[in-house]
Structure 1
Amino acid sequence: MSPSNLPSTSSCQNGDRLTVTHLSQTSPNLSPAGADVREGLQQIPKTLPAQYFYDDRGSQLFEQICDLPEYYPTRTEASILQTAAPEIASLTGNSELVELGSGSSSKTRLLLDAYCQSLTPKQSSVIYRAIDVSGGMLQQSAKTLLNDYPPLRVQGLVGTYEQALDHLPPTETENRLLLFLGSTLGNLKPQACQQFLQRVSQALHPGDYFLLGIDLAKPKSILEAAYNDAQGVTAAFNLNMLAHLNRRFEGNFKLDQFEHWAFFNEKDSQIEMHLRSQVSQSVTLRQLDLRLELAQGETIQTEISRKFKYPDIVESLNQVKLETVHRWSDPQNWFAVLLTRRRP
C-alpha cells in the first residue's frame, strides 16, 4: 500500500529529519481493538498477546530487563553485532534500515555506526525507519539518535508489526535491510512464526535483506534464570500487562492478586511466562464487554520464547525465499544473527 493509501494517521515532524506516524487502528485489514484480548481470555487455557506488554511503562521495564545480569540475550546479541556490523554494512551496501520493535534502538546504534561510517560522497544520509507500539519510547529514542547521528533521517511508525509491514513506503535507496532482533521471533508459535516470515518476505523486494536475531537452545538452568531475575524486574514487567489492559479496556485486574511464573517447557523448547491467580476471582473488561472467572492457581499465559536450532530456522527461512547470506554467533553458541536475502 502506498503512503497515499494509508488509513487515517496523525504525524508530527521535527525539521526534515524526523517524521512520526501513528498508524490507525481502523485499518480494514485488522481486527477491532481488543479482539485478540477477548479471544485469548476465552480460550482454555487463557492467553494474552505479548504486544500488550509494551505500553510506555512496559517498554521502560523491558529496557531494564535487558541490563540484568541474568538476562544474557541482549548483551550476547550486542557483542555479536559489535563485531559483525561493519561486515553487515559492507554486504548490504546502500540500504535503508527498517526495524521491527525498535524500542530504545540501543543495539541498532552498532549498525548505525557502521552505516554512517560507510557513507559515500553520493549518499547524503542514512535512512532509519523505526517501528514500535510504544509511541513515547519511539519518539524519545528517535530524538536521541538524531542528536548523535547528524547524517540520520528517521521515520517512526507507531503500530504493530502487521500494520507497519503493510504500510512501508517505497525505499529511497538501492536496498532495504529489515531488522528483527532480540529473538522476538521466538514469541510466535510455529505456525504463526512461519506466517510472519511469509509476511516479511512479501514486504521485501528481491535483493532486499532481512537481519534476524535468534536465541539458540541451551541448558534449562541458564534459561530459567534469565526469566526469573533476583530483582523482580521481569515479574513487574509481566504484571504491568494487566495495568495496561485495565487502562486501555476499563479493566479491574488487581495486580496484587496475581504472581509471575516462568519456566522452561523442554518438550516444546520454549520458555513460558504466566500470570497465576492467587485467589478465586472475577475480572471485568468493560470496553470489551467481557467478564472472567479465574480459579485459585489458574494461569494466563502471557508469553512464549522459543529457543531455536540453527538448521530448523534456516529451513523455515528458505521456505519463504529468504536465503541465508551469513551467520554470526558468540563463542558459547548461545545466540545467532543471520543475514538473509530475498530471492526472486
Structure 2
Amino acid sequence: MIRIAIIGTNKITRRFLEAVQKTELLKLTGVYSRTIEKAVEFGTEFGAEKFYDRLEPLASDPDIDAVYIASPNYCHCAQAVMLMQAGKHVLVEKPAASNFAEFTRMAQAARQNHVILLEAMRCVIDPAFDLLAAHLDDIGEVRQVILQYCQYSSRYDNYKNGIIENAFRPELSNGSLMDIGVYCTHLMAKLFGMPKKIQADAVFLPNQIDGAGTILAHYDDFQVQLVYSKICDSFVPSQIMGEKGTLTFRELPNIHDIDLILRNGEQKRFPLQKDSNNMLYEAIRFAEMINGQDSAACEECLRVSGMEMQIMDEARRQIGLVFPADTFRHTQNTSAL
C-alpha cells in the first residue's frame, strides 16, 4: 500500500481521492493546505491521519511515500522538486509546470533521486486512448486531425462580473491554453510526436489572459488543428481523418463514443467499458510505476510531457502570453518548431 499525501483541497483533488478509494494500491495519509484547519476539514472526510500547513514537514515525513500536487500551476515546479529531493514520488496535475524550463528541472530531480514523476494527463492514461490508438491503422494514411476541448468555464460568469478567480489569472500560469488546451496538446504529442512547426492564435480577455485559442501543427504529411476555449462550448466531436476513413470521439479529456466511419459508408462504434471517473486510471498507473511494474513507461511519460511543454511555450511566444514564471526560463531548444 502506497501512502500518499495531497497538496490542494479543491474540486479536482476531491475527484482524485474518490478515484483513490476505488483502488487498494494507494491510501490517503496526509493533506497539505494553507491552513491546518482547512487540511483537517478536507482530509478527515477521506480518512487522512496527518495534516500540514508547511511543505517542509510533509517532505521530511517518513510516513509519506508519494504526493499528488493540485496546487496552482506556478507552484508545481518548486513543490515537486522539493518533494522529489526528499525522496517522494510525485503525481502532478496538468500542466506539469509553467514552462519547459521548469519541467526540465522537475524531470532532472526525478531521475537524480530515483523517484517517479508523472503528469496527471488522464486523457492518455485511459482505456479509451488505447482503443483509439489501436484503430489508427483502420483509417489509412492520416491527413487531417481536429482535436478540440471547448467548455464554458464555471468561473467565467464571475470573471465578467469583475471577480477574477485562479483559472483566469496569468500570474498563476493559468488561462485557456494551460487549463484546457493542454489536453489537446498532450494528446497530439502522444499520438504523433513533435510537429515540425506550429502557428498559434488566441482570443484575449481584458486582463490579458487567453480565453480561447487555436494551434495549427504541421507534420510531414498531415496537419493537426487544436481548438480550445474556456469561454464557449463545442458540441462536435474531435476527428482523426485518414485516406480510408475517419475516427471520431467526444468528451476530451474523458474520451467516449469512439466511432469509425469508412469511405465506403461502413460505420462502427467501438464498445468501451470504463469507470466514469477516469482519474482512476492515472492513480493506478502512478502506483504501478512506483511498484516497478511499468518502469519503461516513466521515461516515455516524461518525454511526451516535455514535448507538450515545448509546444505550449512556442504557442505562448507567438500569441504574446507571458507568465511571471517565464522570467526564470532557461535557454531551451525549440528548433523543432
For this structure pair, what is the TM-score category when the shorter chain's length is used for normalisation? 0.3 to 0.5
Return the TM-score normalized by structure 2.
0.34
Return the TM-score normalized by structure 1.
0.34
